[in-house]
Structure 1
């Protein structure tokens, strides 16, 4: 049985075009025909969110207290910003941002859970100049993270903002460099995007490690085709296109490069590439079903396997995008397929973006990037459920535990004999109750009414002189209160 918020999707017209270099021009764009139903809230008429439809394949999403974190975007979408929803797709936090937001996730800083996302400008499609924002569990900003040293401040790219247990962040940047492009069919005085990976101390902004792709990976490794109208200072050739940076088990860094089809294990001290998986210079023989193309989000898992999101598209290589779990034997130099995670439709090709997350229970959560869906699978690759965004695309999708009580009070409006109440971002509200009487001293609390989604309607008896509303947790404790406006 499908679970839905409002109306189902009316139409999705995705155009995932690529640049002349065959690479990243689709990295952030998807033209979307927006469906007619967008949730509207009396208590927060300024907020809108995509209409998300969840369909069940083998098991409905488990109500385990975790949330889904998204950064919906695209022209015409009801929201460009940060969105947290529950397992049914019902909004919990709707946060519009001036620019598009990327890589929205729950992480840990100094032993405490935080929420992070990228915001900034995107002068070139698929690349960004900005910073990562860090907020606490009341949504107060506590830090920002960006580039430094040999890269100008404010050039942190959209693709990665990963916090480490050492209080540092792994980020990336794209920097123009003039170079001889004849090895890839370009001019001697051409221009290329050099890809920079930095490790930055969150508290001080000090750059602890900096790595550049041109120092370690040759132009000839690219899978992108050079175009006669590229390779200029205005349009540098995008030969590498870093899109994820993660710690490996031994402390080295796993760097995924979309445009070389390669994953690189990089020594954290010297910057030396220890091994390459995939692409033109693979140190591994790829077993049946392993070869990936235009991939994203390469990570080492606790069991030693390596996971990634295999786009297979832009330009198209295979019939569908998919998730992959691979076993690497570094001594033998082999990579074998452990599990393949396939979408419910046979041709869900994502020309850009995408993510794969292994959940604490062993399930796998996939965001389909430029295709506006996210899905959960069991560890063996069986699809459990699939969700469709009513509009807009999304860089990465995560499912994680997140508990928050906003610094701002709830919002409530008295209209037509009822109070409409919401608390944008609050995760622990189980019920609401009215407090009414002749004055604040004489007011009495009514019976709790179960929270019914982002906004709850509370009927009002009579015309009390004093009226307030309280938010209660599952134990009946008061989390916050407010006086309705009218």
Structure 2
């Protein structure tokens, strides 16, 4: 944690660490507190498995007017060279899915894609209709010679799919290849030679629903954002790319962008990666959060607010810009191992520390596709954990409860046998993910109880025996 100032929004941090290089620790879904301590971690058994788009959403079950908070994420394997070179780097391998977990960390739903497409890590969004909108992709065989690629090649196509969460039934789909010309891609088709002939012409990486039955789609490799009429499937307007319907004011253009979102008042936000592998003549720019004003009368986009980092960051891939309830902006820096929070006004290039309230660097080369700040109350269905160890200065009892957000203190019980325990430490303040409590009691049997802010017992651990 390199910066921590007053004024940050409420909530914890949601990341899904992985690495294309040497992983520090384990991949999985991770909630961190503001001080950097883990709140909940669901590790994966292999670093070849990854999670992505890990966040809090609201699940509107059928028949319920009020939704329930849930955790959602994608799980699967990404094509990351040198292990996987059958698809463009970062594309999902077959076999992935999406998960919904409740506040007790129990699995509610598993969601799969249709039409032979693979669930894509880039987007999984719940709607008030009790449905899920997500991206799914698969290679479609195609002669790529008209685009400068191999004859027996394929294009990595993307579908927007919407499924009913109660039944799993596909309700809607929109196919990129049916509506977008791959010739407009900024990704050379010749690069397919490094991914078994598959060309990543589109690389769709976000969906957002608008107020007028519209979808906002970010096509990274087109350098463009498209507004789609959901019912007809037609492109209403295009921002950026080779056929932009808008011109751009100073600092408003973008490259390789991610996470395009509608904002109030004819604004949209995104994460502008802005760097790396640019064609001749395109100036490289620092990665940053970007909010644009769209003037539909004059068809002009202007930069309303920007969010830069100090030191400057250049993220070739990934990233997001999240609007927080208090007006702040939370930035996940994608392939750069940081996440940050800024006061609403933001800053400009060269002033990356201005309005910076919170900044964290992940270890080593670990990164997270997106990072979010969300409010979450977790009440695990499983009990707390306890361990007891003899030391030269008495015994130490260790207490933890993975995922509990209500535990504020611990009570320690001890006794000569598992059936004869009494309280020996009334109130030990929780000091992090694992709290160590010293006691002069010889046990050798111990138990811990989790206490909430009012001192009420939430739940007790199993009884454990002293180890030496």
Once the two structures are superposed, residues 152-180 of structure 1 have per-residue CA deviations (whole angstroms, 9 ceiling, x without a partner) of 5xx10111111111111111122222334
SS of 1:87's equivalent in the other structure is coil
Counterpart contact for 1:412–1:484, Cα < 8 Å: yes
Instruction: Quote how far apart the aligned CAs of 1:466 are.
Output: 5.1
Counterpart contact for 2:51–2:73, Cα < 8 Å: yes
SS of 1:227's equivalent in the other structure is helix
- Counterpart of 1:253 in structure 2 is 215
Q: Distance in 1 between matches of 2:36 and 2:190?
A: 42
Which of 458, 464, 468 matches 1:484? 464
- Counterpart of 2:24 in structure 1 is 77
Counterpart contact for 1:180–1:190, Cα < 8 Å: yes
- Counterpart of 2:341 in structure 1 is 376
Between stretches 308-317 and 271-280, larger displacement belongs to: 308-317
Q: Distance in 1 between matches of 2:202 and 2:444?
A: 67
- Counterpart of 2:84 in structure 1 is none
Counterpart contact for 2:192–2:198, Cα < 8 Å: no
Counterpart contact for 2:228–2:234, Cα < 8 Å: yes
Instruction: Quote how far apart the aligned CAs of 1:115 are.
Output: 0.3
SS of 2:199's equivalent in the other structure is coil
**1:422 partnered with 2:396:** no
Q: How does 1:91-110 map to 2 (within 5 A)?
A: 91-98=38-45, 99-110=49-60
Instruction: Quote how far apart the aligned CAs of 1:143 are.
Output: 0.3
Q: How does 1:336-351 map to 2 (within 5 A)?
A: 336-346=302-312, 348-351=313-316
Q: Distance in 1 between matches of 2:172 and 2:12?
A: 33
Over 3 Å counting, the alpha-carbon distance change for 1:183 and 1:329 in structure 2 is farther
- Counterpart of 1:138 in structure 2 is 104
Which of 370, 394, 401 matches 2:368? 394
Q: Distance in 1 between matches of 2:268 and 2:437?
A: 50
Counterpart contact for 2:9–2:328, Cα < 8 Å: no
Instruction: Quote how far apart the aligned CAs of 1:107 are.
Output: 0.5
TM-score by structure 1 length?
A: 0.83
Q: Distance in 2 between matches of 1:457 and 1:464?
A: 16
Counterpart contact for 1:469–1:484, Cα < 8 Å: no
Counterpart contact for 1:311–1:321, Cα < 8 Å: yes
- Counterpart of 2:329 in structure 1 is 364
Once the two structures are superposed, residues 251-310 of structure 1 have per-residue CA deviations (whole angstroms, 9 ceiling, x without a partner) of 311110100011111111111111111111111111111100000000012444210000
Q: Distance in 2 between matches of 1:414 and 1:63?
A: 37
Q: Distance in 2 between matches of 1:60 and 1:389?
A: 21
- Counterpart of 2:75 in structure 1 is 119
Instruction: Quote how far apart the aligned CAs of 1:322 are.
Output: 0.3
Instruction: Quote how far apart the aligned CAs of 1:62 are.
Output: 4.0
What is the number of residues matched between the two proteins?
426
Q: Distance in 2 between matches of 1:466 and 1:284?
A: 71
Q: Distance in 2 between matches of 1:485 and 1:368?
A: 45
Instruction: Quote how far apart the aligned CAs of 1:406 are.
Output: 1.0
Gap runs ≥5 in structure 1: 1-52
Which of 137, 151, 175 matches 2:138? 175
Which of 212, 219, 226 matches 2:182? 219
Q: Distance in 1 between matches of 2:444 and 2:148?
A: 79
Q: How does 1:233-252 map to 2 (within 5 A)?
A: 234-252=196-214
Over 3 Å counting, the alpha-carbon distance change for 1:374 and 1:228 in structure 2 is closer
Instruction: Quote how far apart the aligned CAs of 1:441 are.
Output: 6.3
Counterpart contact for 2:416–2:445, Cα < 8 Å: yes
Greater length-normalized contact order (CA 8 Å, ≥ 6 residues apart)? 1
Instruction: Quote how far apart the aligned CAs of 1:315 are.
Output: 1.4
